[in-house]
Chains A and B, each alone.
Chain A
Amino acid sequence: MSTELLELNQRVEHLESVVGRIFDILDEKPLPRIYSSPSAERGAQLLAEAQRNAHKAKEHFDRLFKLWGITGKPIGRKNLQKLFKEAGFDESDNQFARGIIEMREE
C-alpha cells in the first residue's frame, strides 16, 4: 500500500471512530420526545443502528470466508433445496431447524 493510501486509510479509520463515539454519546441522551414510549425509542435505536451498520456484515464475512477458504458463487436457494433433496434429506425430519432449537437449549 502506498504512503498516501495508508494515510488516507488511517484518516478514514479515525473518522469512523469519531463518528462511532458521537453515536454512542447520542444514545446516552434523554428521550427526544418524538417516541411514544421508551420501548419505541429502543426500537428506533435498534433500527438506526442496523441501518448504520448495514454494510459491516459483508465486510466482516468477506474476511471470514477468506479465512475459511470459502470461494465460489451462489447458485440460488431453490437449487440448493433441490441439492438437499437429491442428497436424500428427509423433508419431514426438520433436522436443521430442530438442531438450532436444540443448540439454544444446550
Chain B
Amino acid sequence: MLFYYLDANALAKAYVNEKGSDAVNLLFDHVPTTQLLTLIVNLSETISIFVRKKNGGVISRSLYQQVLLDFKSDVIDNPDFLKISVKDNLVYDSMPLIEKHSINATDAMILQSCLNIAEVKRNSGNDLVLATSDRRLQTAAEAEGIRTINPEVVSLEKIERLIQSEAGNGN
C-alpha cells in the first residue's frame, strides 16, 4: 500500500487551477484519506499563501473564505488525513539535512518525517510517496531514497498506474 505525503504546494493545487492540479485531483479522488498525510506546518503554509493573495488583492475575500472552508472540510477536519506534529525530536533530527542538501528548515522537517515514516511503512510492506512541486525538496528526498511525484511534471498515467497497482495488490 502506498501512503502519500503532500506538502503545502501540493495541497494548494487541490483548490486552485494550476499546473499539477489534475494530478492532485487524482490523489484526492482515488486514494483513501487514511493513506494521505502532511506536516502540520503545511496547513499554516497553505493558509498563508491564500492570506497573502487575499491581502494583495489577487483573490477576493469571498474566494479566500471559500478556499479555506473547503480546505478545512477536506483536510483539517478529516481525522483520517493525518497531520504530523512538529516536536523537538523532529526539529533536531532534521537539522543535518539542512546542511547536507542545502534545504530550508521546513523542507528539512518534511524530509525527516518522510524518512521516519517511510521506514515504518516499509517495515510492514508498504511505502511512502512524497508529493511536492518544490524541486529542491524533491531532489533531496530522492537522494535520501524517498519516492516522489511532482504534480507539475508527473503524467496522469503514472499516477493512475500507482493507484491501480495498489488496487491490484488487494490493498
Same assembly: yes
Which positions in A face B, CB cutoff 8 Å? 35-37, 39-40, 42-47, 49-51, 53-55, 57-58, 61, 65, 70, 72-78, 80-85, 87, 89, 91-101, 103-105
Given A54-B82, A61-B72, A96-B53, are A40 and B116 also a contact pair (CB < 8 Å)?
yes
In the bound complex, do residue A74 and residue B73 qualify as a contact, i.e. CB atoms below 8 Å apart?
yes
Q: Is the CB of A36 within 8 A of B73?
A: no
Judge whether B66 and A100 touch: CB under 8 Å. no
Residues of B with C-beta under 8 A to A96: 9, 12-13, 16, 18, 49-50, 53
B1-28 interface bits toward A, Cβ cutoff 8 Å, 1 = contact, 0 = none:
0000000111011111111110001001
- The interface size of chain B toward A, counting residues with CB under 8 Å, comes to 65
Interface mask (B75-119 → A, CB under 8 Å = 1, otherwise 0): 011011011110101100100000000001011000001011111
- Asked if residues B79 and A95 are in contact (CB atoms below 8 Å), the reply is no
Residues of B within 8 A of A (CB): 8-10, 12-21, 25, 28, 37, 40, 43, 45-46, 48-50, 52-53, 58-60, 63, 65-70, 72-74, 76-77, 79-80, 82-85, 87, 89-90, 93, 104, 106-107, 113, 115-121, 123, 133-134, 152
Instruction: Decide: A77 and B68 in contact? CB cutoff 8 A.
Output: no
By the criterion CB–CB under 8 Å, are B68 and A70 in contact?
Answer: yes
Least distance between B128 CB and chain A CB atoms (Å): 9
Which B residue's beta carbon lies closest to that of A101?
A: B134
Are A50 and B84 in contact (CB-based, < 8 A)? Answer: yes
Q: Which of B16, B89, B107, B113 counts the most A-chain CB atoms under 10 A from its CB? A: B16
Distance in Å: Cβ of A68 to nearest Cβ of chain B: 8
Tell me the minimal C-beta distance from B42 to chain A in angstroms.
9
User: Can you report 19 A-B residue pairs in the complex whose CB atoms are below 8 A from each other?
Assistant: A35-B123, A47-B120, A50-B83, A57-B43, A58-B77, A70-B65, A72-B69, A74-B69, A74-B73, A80-B15, A81-B15, A83-B63, A84-B63, A87-B63, A93-B18, A94-B152, A100-B49, A100-B134, A104-B106
